[in-house]
Structure 1
Amino acid sequence: MKKHISAFLLLVLCVPLFASFAGATAVPSPAKVSASIGELRADQLMFGYVDPSGKQILGLTGNPEKIHPAPKTLTSVLYASGKAFRVAYVKHQKASSKSSYRQSAANFKFDEGELFKLSSPGSKLKSDASVLLQTATAFQGHSFLTFQSEQKGKFNAKTVKAIEKAKNRKVATQGLIATTTNGVQIGIVKFVQGSGKPLASLVLVDRGSMVFQDFVGSNDPYSTWRVDDGGEMGPELFHLIFASSSKAGYALGVEWYGAEGTNLSVIQQKGTKFRVVTEAGRYQAPL
């Protein structure tokens, strides 16, 4: 059991890798607008996951030293970009002695977290899905971007050359995670290692401007970026919960799958980088 708990802590500690997008020019710099307009806050957002019935959600509080919202202030759940169901707070659910210490639908009733129920008539979510609970004003000033998940699409040759020039490294593999209806592309790129450490980047491309989130790996071929990843980094490991834009910049809800669980982050542009607004981890290693 100690091994499982340690692995979960390691999983959660991996989440801050979502920290530094850079260079988008299509969205005004936050320095030129009021800091409060469209700025996402940790005390208005909480990740959670869905029970087997699709009608209950367990909010993940994670590290108690980090900022978390008061559960009663969370009034809806974001289940797709711009689409939400209303929720009602039920109670704080304590961990059961029967818990497997997994944040999964199978262990839902035994896990610890903040319990919510869907209150929209006839509403139902996909069992075991990762979702984002929010206050009524959390996304004030935001426009949600509709997107198509594309795990078989690729950046075109011109974009690849621009990425290689920007990072001064050759691209080894690359693929799209999603493309929005207004043409913004979000993908993952793995670079040829050379003499440095392994490098991969989540890249957002908007009309020629590029935004990077770098992942610097270790030289362990079996656990390069995540535990037991085998050195692989591809679009099939990522899922967008939402994408939005505001006067404060782009914002993304990112789910990153790994061998032992899922990392969850909300990140928002701040100048030429992205800051982590809130984050959580779901430990889901096989029993």
Structure 2
Amino acid sequence: MKSLFLAILLLTLYGCDNSQNQSKPPVKSENKEQLISPYFGFLNQQKDSLIALPMDQAMESPEKYNYVIIENQVSPLGFIQNKSDNKESNGRQTAQNFANSEGSLFTIKNEIKSGDFGMLVNQAFLSQYKIEPFTKVERETTPEVKEKLEKKYKRKISKSTTVAVLKDQAEFNLTVFENQQDSALAVFSYIKEDQLINLDFPATYDDISTWRVDDGGQFDNEAFQVLTVLRSEAGISFVSIFWGAEGYELNFYQPKKDKFTSAAQAYGYSSPL
């Protein structure tokens, strides 16, 4: 009798354990792609290829950069090869010198309608950042915003212009303050209701070259341009180009409290021949 009772008990326990095992979902092995630091490149005239620009950090494993963001467009990207420059190169990182330039060469798989520069990323980046459409404008900054900026920086404004508007009516403004002795200051601002995030451009005033070589001491609205606006859980980020007489500087700026900081940067030489 005891043997029969023990057998029934063991059979019951096995059935319960087997039932519990069947109810558990299978464990899936996740192979998530890691986020890699963005890289910059310039396009050829046909806008179907791209060469990565020299940057502070070396480009490791170029085949991992499988997407490119060009203004408001995203395209799959294919790595072709690392190429050297040739004797015909004039040293410029421009579309006109593309065939002669050195660097990591990629093919752009989608048709690109506009844009001369791209930010190379991977799928993990696109999972976190989404393109935010914006409209370029050129109008005087509102008195309320000017007052807020003057109060924050404790100096008078010389000129302030709204240069872009997002769909939610947030704005980007470019402000140049009056010089204080030889101290010059320009500020690029994101403004959404009470939120204010700034990117400061302090400089020592020079009537030949203040912010850029041969800028005549002026911060030109056409020189600093927003190429792409991105939104993530951290807030608004953007890609910009800052033109100078001899070349250009590309940056990917991210918000950090009330300031924008550069997360990726590249330079290109484009001095006129």
Q: If the length of structure 2 is used for normalisation, what is the TM-score?
A: 0.82
SS in 1 for 2:250: strand
Identical aligned pairs, as a percentage? 23
Deviation per residue, 1:68-97 (Å, 9 max, x gap)? 35210111211123x311121110111112
Tell me if structure 1 keeps the 8 A contact 2:130–2:232: yes
1:57 paired with 2:50, answer yes
1:114 paired with 2:104, answer yes
**Letter of the aligned partner of 2:211 in structure 1?**
W
CA distance in 2, matches of 1:89, 1:157: 49
Alpha-carbon distance change, 86 to 277 in structure 1, aligned in 2, over 3 angstroms: same
CA distance in 2, matches of 1:124, 1:203: 29
**Letter of the aligned partner of 2:141 in structure 1?**
F
Tell me if structure 2 keeps the 8 A contact 1:44–1:68: no
Which segments of 5 or more consecutive residues in structure 1 lack a partner in the other structure? Answer: 1-39
1:59, distance to aligned residue in structure 2 (A): 1.1
Alpha-carbon distance change, 69 to 140 in structure 1, aligned in 2, over 3 angstroms: farther
Q: What does residue 141 of structure 1 align with?
A: 128
Q: What does residue 75 of structure 1 align with?
A: 66
1:143, distance to aligned residue in structure 2 (A): 3.5
How many residues align? The count is 240
CA distance in 1, matches of 2:253, 2:191: 16
1:44, distance to aligned residue in structure 2 (A): 3.6
Which of 168, 174, 194 is 1:182 aligned to? 168
Higher strand share: 2
Between 1 and 2, higher relative CO (CA 8 Å, sep ≥ 6) is seen in 1
Q: What does residue 197 of structure 1 align with?
A: 183
SS in 2 for 1:227: coil
Q: If the length of structure 1 is used for normalisation, what is the TM-score?
A: 0.78
Which of 100, 123, 139 is 2:90 aligned to? 100
Q: What does residue 112 of structure 2 align with?
A: 124
1:202, distance to aligned residue in structure 2 (A): 0.8
4+ residue segments displaced more than 4 Å: none
Determine which structure has more spread, i.e. the larger CA radius of gyration. Answer: 2
Tell me if structure 1 keeps the 8 A contact 2:62–2:104: yes
5 Å matches for 1:1-287? 43-63=36-56, 66=57, 68-81=59-72, 83-120=73-110, 123-126=111-114, 129-150=116-137, 152-195=138-181, 197-287=183-273
CA distance in 1, matches of 2:154, 2:182: 12
**Letter of the aligned partner of 1:165 in structure 2?**
K
Root-mean-square deviation over aligned CA pairs: 1.8
